[in-house]
Structure 1
Amino acid sequence: MDRRPKRLKAALGRAFLQAGWLTRGRALAYCRILGVYGWGLFLSIIVISHWGTDFEGQPICADFVSFWAASRQVLDGHLADVYDKAKHHLAELSAFPGLSFGNFAFYYPPTFLLLCVPLALAPYRLSVALFLILTGTAFVRALRRLLPQRWALLPILTFPGLVVGVANGQNGLLTGSLFGWAMVLLAEHPFAAGLCLGGLVIKPQLLVAAPVVLLCARRWRAVAGGICSGLGLIAASWFVFGATSWNGFLHMSHEAQGAFSHGYVQSWKMQSVFAAAHLLHAPAWLAYGVQITAAAFALSLAGWLAARLRRRAADLGEEMTASGQVAVMITAMPFCSPFLLDYDLACLAFPMGWLLLQALRTGWWSGEKFVLFLAYIYLLGARLFAELTHVGPTPFICAALLCVLARRIAPDMWLHLKQIVVSKADWFSRRQPDAAPVATRDNGGVQA
């Protein structure tokens, strides 16, 4: 009897499920390599730049151009022009005359415009530096509160999501820090954690999973905090900018879909389920159908896991329970919006940190090391991979991350499902006349 298939299966199991090759020393070495590559590439662009433009003639941290131009329009008394795509582009060109970079339209609600107003008080380069330093510091500080160990500083500083957020000049580190501080504060200061989550009305598509998780977890103080900060920001933006800004935003929201369809944001840049289906040449109706189905499943699972964690509070402890609920919220978020880019996923560092804490506490379960390894490294090359292969990896990696979270939170249910699958497989093999009997062995735990 040929034993090669069994040997291949065992080798694959050791490589992907046990991942014994991924020792602590090698993991830290990979972090150093990623850090040298990511930060080295970014710093090289800064060094060879000329008056704020890179070697391709694009502004450094190009996405920040839209934020800075919107601030300049408001400060100059041209509020209505912020949500006029042509006039907004003229404001961008006035900051970088003669450049032919893309049209970075302002697709954000007036709640985010409220935060953008002071940006143009400083020159572009100083403004973008201050913005990224402040949001990056808040992001790193939240991760350090979650992972205070000395060795954790290197993986945090070299995390590709941090590099991508800085290189793009985007607000992903701001939204990620809001998620992160909500995770840190939920156990002892639930109202403050809710205030952080309510602040995500600056980018409301990231907030979809939050109410589901908080309500299923019965975090009433956090719900109250979220309502206060969310409605407070909406009211403040209405008071400062008036109804005109909100009408302009609603009109621009339709323009966002047009920007995607006209190629301003290519499918390979997007990280959503919709984009992954679109890359596989699915028609729009099917891509939206897959997106809605994935969102419904992810939200249902997130709500169930949040309730499950609430019932396990005595076993895990309040701090681990509360942070786990926010980890579930963050991991479900990528399935909830068709418009999602790589810098929006910097917040995945926090559920990864929660899983790492669980592994330090009880040991690694099968498959966890490899899933965390993939989730850690993929952001640095997500766009390039999708452009070259026309396969969007994000939904698959986020689904794997959600699965290992679910297994940690509900190990008994996972073992039950595994037994059902194994029994069905055994039944199917017995139905095959030429199938040879294969002995199975239970390892006596939920870690398989």
Structure 2
Amino acid sequence: MIDDDEDVLLAAKMLLKKQGHHVIIEKNPKKIPFLLHNDTYDVILLDMNFSKDITSGKEGFYWLEQILGHDPSAVVILITAFGDVEMAVRALKAGATDFILKPWQNEKLVATISTAIRLKKSYNEVDKLKKAKEMLEEQIGRPFGEIIGQSKAIQEVFTLIDKVAKTDANVLILGENGTGKELIARAIHQRSLRKDNSFVSVDMGAITETLFESELFGHKKGAFTDAREDRPGRFELANNGTLFLDEIGNLSMSLQSKLLSALQSRQVTRVGANQSMAVNIRLICATNMPLHKMVQEGTFRQDLLYRINTVELHVPPLCDRVEDIPMLAQHYLNYYAKKYHKHVTAITPEATDKLKRYAWPGNIRELQHGIERAVIMTDSATLQESDFLLSRTVSSSPNSNTLNLDEVEKTAIVKALNMHNGNISKAADELGLTRASLYRRMEKYGI
């Protein structure tokens, strides 16, 4: 508290000490720079007029400017006489938080300071969140964040992300489970003009028929039994940002119709509400299902497919980017070694070769879990071949003389996989199968 009246300072200090506050008082405003430089304050009480300038308030404005110049988030309460209310209002416009009239009422002073302290705490929380955001952005600041790789296949994905991100085009991301489709969606958002707004992710496969409208469009209090309060839906939460609908291929035809209606009108109506509201979203969808084939089979709406796939982006499976496996493995090794406080720093060349030979039907997610398990179980500083228990290695083939159709099919699959070094896409082409069909057969035969 800065005031040239020592009696005022002492009275305020005694009152505020009783409230549990630590109070610094100062008569000379010229010491303000020194005080600000050597300590931080939750609230600063500043008199508007000092002995050299009794009524104009110029000194108060000057020192207010100096305080805010040092700390723009400083909470400054001005102290003024009855006749200076108009001047105090001008000071609020100049950046002061509040003002107190002399002579003050003790209850009013305490209440004003309590409110100011809560405001300062909120400023501090915002500052913490801002710094945390900056740290996070710094951590993911390298191109495409956690999307790791240098292979031609993943570089083509990077190129397409850069092309589509700055537009508002709807994007459909296709790829197998575990390939990192959500990371791709987040990378598009981070490079878009909406990057400062929300990225809202929805797992469409986890939403039941009964909760679909409530989850996506929101609901009003009392709309149904458990609706105890108004709740915005995912569309509202993503307003002016990006809405990511994962596993969109799992939606039933009736839910596809409701989704299409919202996408066409760009309006949603909360369950239990009578009025719709406009939403401005950038839509990104993802699935591991063959939507084009599902359209032909009548299990996915063609008009919805047209709506969501202005641009299609195919994420390559891990077996199509084998050269990225060492880099990915080292990344997860570093992460889990730190997480589990293990001194594990490397992977032997033999173990790396084993990882590169494996087909990885679970893609990057399976690799991640494999590295995590190996880090947990190893007693060595280097991961060995034996640390990786890969469940479906392509190694042996059944008796070639059998006429059993299952055995013949299994033999053909193993040969195709060996011929193409575990590359699922090439093996599927060799066998005349789709990738999904090949995976089903590999599951069936335990390959």
Higher RCO (Cα < 8 Å, 6 or more apart): 1
- Give the TM-score taking structure 1 as reference length: 0.24
Larger radius of gyration between Structure 1 and Structure 2: 2
Whose helix fraction is larger, Structure 1's or Structure 2's?
Answer: 1
Higher strand share: 2
